[in-house]
């Protein structure tokens, strides 16, 4: 009786389970046979449990004596060695063609035809079968869509919930929404901190342009402070998880965390699952809020530019920030995430009795400033980045050593501290700051120069905006003095094509004497011999009376033209 015909249901097990039990059952019978204890009853019981005949079991035992593979996989096809399998070559082609099996099959056929003598290529059906058999779903997805697609088939462990402020996670996210920023459509960036135990958004900052360490510091201040309008979430966490972002690991940000006694956990690259709380927030905000806003940029197919309806009125940056903060309030006070089992983040926060570590607002501001070293306060103020900064409190204090601290990119103001005592002395504003008209003219000149030298100046002409934690108009960063504005405008003068044109460098020749030329134009011509008439022109005032036509040459007695 053949294996396929000897299918019994005496064991009452599913077919898949009976197949999986073949190997252990045969190895057990081999062990009994090796000790001389194997009987026909043992074989009968095994055959009944496996749903095959006793003769089939005896044949498996005979094959297992001479072949280890037969002992491991009883009843397997004897043609296993000859069947087509997925080789490293096939895996490489699958990655090259992004999982397109038909394209891989065409490539295999071409390669087989080029061999001498020509080899046989597998059929498309055989190739599909081998890929399904030899590759896991995660491997197939990874070869087609990359590592992110492969991670969807992985199994991940979940961390214990812990307690509030035990661990925070932070990240940047570019919103898929176009916002009106000073008349330009931009996609703002969101920087936020989340508490892993309560799923609460502790701090958020929105930046019209590309984020920087200033965005991280602004979001950190809003996360730590618990006073209005930031509370009740906040305090100092024990650690913060980041994903190797240069802004989060900059010297200023890491120094602020060190001073606040917060440990930074730098996660390995390309491991978003290790900070799943903030990554889940990034995925949740788009369908819950951003997809319904004007200017939402629908996610395009690969290689396509994002599009939006024509004539759509975009939100201002202030309105976008207000809506995002309102959604953040809803998330913290009304939304009930599934891991919290029916509670809101606010309820989970209030139910947690863990003590909070608070920092005064003034001290927090000091901790989140960048140190620029020591200077000497002179009669012209404090010299910083080749510019002078002054403050009303400096009167009568010239000559003392001071320490300069500043917020990154906010170069219109610096903070001054006493070197010896560390006491805060006061702010200092940029002296002789340029007017808005001068700054606007400088930006226009910069834009014109950038269009001509886009590749060389693209990085240096990036405009920065201050991160906002409250609804307000976008604030450009980059202060200029009057002298700097005048110098840059002077460099930008006479650089346009119209300015570079020199029409009076070589004046045109004087027209013929008989032409009626206006005096204003005649004064701009070169004096001297009149310009020759164009060929074929009709001018009765020609000197030779020929009406502008050249006289035919005459011939002398020798036949020479004269």
Whether residues 204 and 234 share a domain: the answer is yes
For 106-157, the pLDDT digits (tens) are 999 999 988 888 888 899 999 999 999 899 999 999 999 888 788 888 887 7
Residue 277: is its pLDDT beyond 50? yes
What CATH number should be reported for the domain holding residue 406?
Answer: 2.30.30
* Domain contains 142: yes
Q: Do residues 431 and 390 make contact, with C-beta atoms less than 8 angstroms apart?
A: yes
Whether residues 197 and 319 share a domain: the answer is yes
* Domain contains 501: no
Q: What angle do CA 58, 63, 64 make, to 5 degrees?
A: 95
CA–CA distance from 482 to each of 167, 299, 415, 430, 460 (Å)? Answer: 47, 45, 22, 11, 21
* Domain contains 500: no
Residue 182: is its pLDDT beyond 50? yes
Whether residues 251 and 331 share a domain: the answer is yes
Whether residues 216 and 174 share a domain: the answer is yes
- Which domain does 208 fall in, by range? 167-351
- Please give the pLDDT value at position 306: 58
Whether residues 247 and 209 share a domain: the answer is yes
Whether residues 477 and 335 share a domain: the answer is no
Residue 13: is its pLDDT beyond 50? yes
CA–CA separation, 409 and 446 (whole Å): 18
- Please give the pLDDT value at position 474: 81
Whether residues 321 and 411 share a domain: the answer is no
- Please give the pLDDT value at position 438: 62
Q: What angle do CA 447, 452, 453 make, to 5 degrees?
A: 95
* Domain contains 304: yes
Whether residues 231 and 299 share a domain: the answer is yes
Whether residues 385 and 409 share a domain: the answer is yes
Q: What's the per-residue H, E or C state across 111-138? A: HHHHCCCCCCCCCHHHHHHHHHHHCCHH
Question: Which residue, 430, 450, 476, sits at the end of a domain?
Answer: 430
For 211-226, the pLDDT digits (tens) are 888 888 889 988 998 8
* Domain contains 505: no
Is the pTM of the predicted complex or chain greater than 0.85? no
- Read off φ and ψ for residue 404, nearest 5 degrees: -105, 130
Average pLDDT over residues 172-182: 91
Question: Which residue, 46, 81, 116, sits at the end of a domain?
Answer: 81
Please count the structural domains in the chain: 5
Question: Which residue, 304, 320, 351, sits at the end of a domain?
Answer: 351
Whether residues 300 and 210 share a domain: the answer is yes
For 447-498, the pLDDT digits (tens) are 776 776 665 555 555 667 778 878 888 877 777 777 777 777 776 665 555 5
Three-class secondary structure of residue 383 per DSSP: strand
Whether residues 134 and 218 share a domain: the answer is no
Residue 391: is its pLDDT beyond 80? yes
Q: Which residues contact 242 (CB under 8 A, 6 or more apart)?
A: 170, 171, 248, 249, 264, 265, 266, 267, 275
* Domain contains 540: no
What CATH number should be reported for the domain holding residue 300?
Answer: 3.30.420.10
Q: How confident is the model at residue 2 (pLDDT cuts 50, 70, 90)?
A: very low
Question: By C-alpha distance, which of 170, 161, 153 is closest to 204?
Answer: 170
* Domain contains 459: yes
Query: Taking the chain, what is the end-to-end CA distance rounded to the nearest angstrom?
Result: 125
* Domain contains 517: no
Whether residues 56 and 96 share a domain: the answer is no
């Amino acid at each position: 009786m053949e294996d396929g015909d000897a299918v019994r249901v005496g064991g009452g097990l599913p077919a898949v389970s009976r197949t999986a039990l073949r190997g252990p059952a045969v190895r057990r019978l081999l062990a009994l046979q090796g000790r001389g204890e194997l009987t026909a009853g043992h074989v009968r019981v095994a055959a009944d449990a496996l749903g095959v005949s006793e003769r089939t079991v005896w044949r498996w035992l005979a094959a297992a004596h001479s072949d280890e593979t037969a002992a491991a996989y009883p009843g397997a096809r004897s043609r296993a060695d000859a069947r087509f399998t997925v080789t490293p070559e096939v895996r490489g082609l699958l990655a090259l063609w992004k999982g397109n099996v038909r394209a891989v099959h065409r490539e295999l056929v071409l390669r087989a035809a080029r061999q001498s003598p020509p080899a046989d290529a597998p059929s498309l059906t055989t190739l599909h079968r081998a890929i399904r058999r030899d590759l896991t779903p995660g491997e197939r997805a990874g070869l087609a869509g990359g590592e992110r697609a492969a991670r969807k088939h992985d199994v991940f462990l979940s961390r214990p919930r812990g307690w509030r402020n035990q661990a925070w996670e932070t990240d940047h996210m570019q919103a898929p929404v176009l916002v009106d920023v000073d008349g330009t459509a931009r996609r703002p960036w969101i920087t936020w901190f989340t508490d892993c135990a309560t799923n609460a958004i502790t701090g958020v900052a929105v930046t019209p342009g590309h984020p920087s360490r200033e965005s991280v510091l602004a979001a950190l201040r809003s996360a730590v402070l618990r006073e209005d309008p930031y509370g009740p979430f906040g305090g100092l966490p024990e650690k913060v998880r980041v994903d190797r972002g240069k802004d989060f690991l900059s010297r200023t940000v890491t120094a602020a965390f060190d001073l606040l006694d917060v440990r930074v956990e730098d996660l390995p690259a390309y491991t978003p699952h290790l900070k799943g709380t903030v990554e889940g927030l990034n995925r949740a905000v788009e369908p819950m809020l951003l997809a319904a806003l004007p200017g939402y940029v629908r996610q395009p197919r690969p290689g396509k530019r994002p599009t939006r309806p024509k004539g759509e009125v975009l939100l201002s940056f202030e309105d976008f920030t207000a809506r995002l903060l309102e959604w953040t309030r809803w998330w913290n006070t009304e939304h009930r995430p599934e891991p919290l089992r029916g509670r809101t983040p606010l309820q989970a926060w209030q139910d947690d009795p863990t003590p909070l570590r608070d920092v005064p607002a003034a001290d927090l501001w000091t901790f989140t400033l960048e140190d620029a070293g020591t200077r000497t306060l002179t009669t012209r103020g404090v010299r910083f980045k080749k510019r002078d900064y002054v403050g009303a409190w400096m009167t009568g204090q010239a000559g003392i050593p001071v320490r300069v601290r500043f917020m990154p990119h906010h170069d219109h103001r610096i903070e001054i501290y006493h070197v010896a005592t560390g006491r805060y002395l006061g702010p200092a504003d940029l002296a002789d700051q340029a007017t808005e008209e001068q700054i606007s003219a400088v930006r226009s000149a910069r834009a014109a120069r950038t269009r001509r030298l886009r590749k060389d100046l693209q990085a240096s002409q990036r405009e920065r905006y201050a991160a906002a934690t409250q609804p307000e108009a976008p604030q450009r960063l980059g202060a200029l003095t009057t002298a700097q504005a005048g110098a840059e405008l002077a460099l930008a003068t006479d650089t346009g094509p119209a300015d570079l044109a020199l029409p009076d460098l070589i004046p045109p020749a004087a027209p013929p004497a008989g032409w009626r030329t206006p005096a204003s134009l005649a004064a701009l011509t070169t004096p001297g011999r009149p310009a020759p008439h164009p060929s074929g022109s009709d001018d009765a005032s020609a000197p030779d009376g020929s009406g502008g036509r050249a006289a035919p040459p005459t011939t002398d007695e020798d036949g020479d033209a004269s």
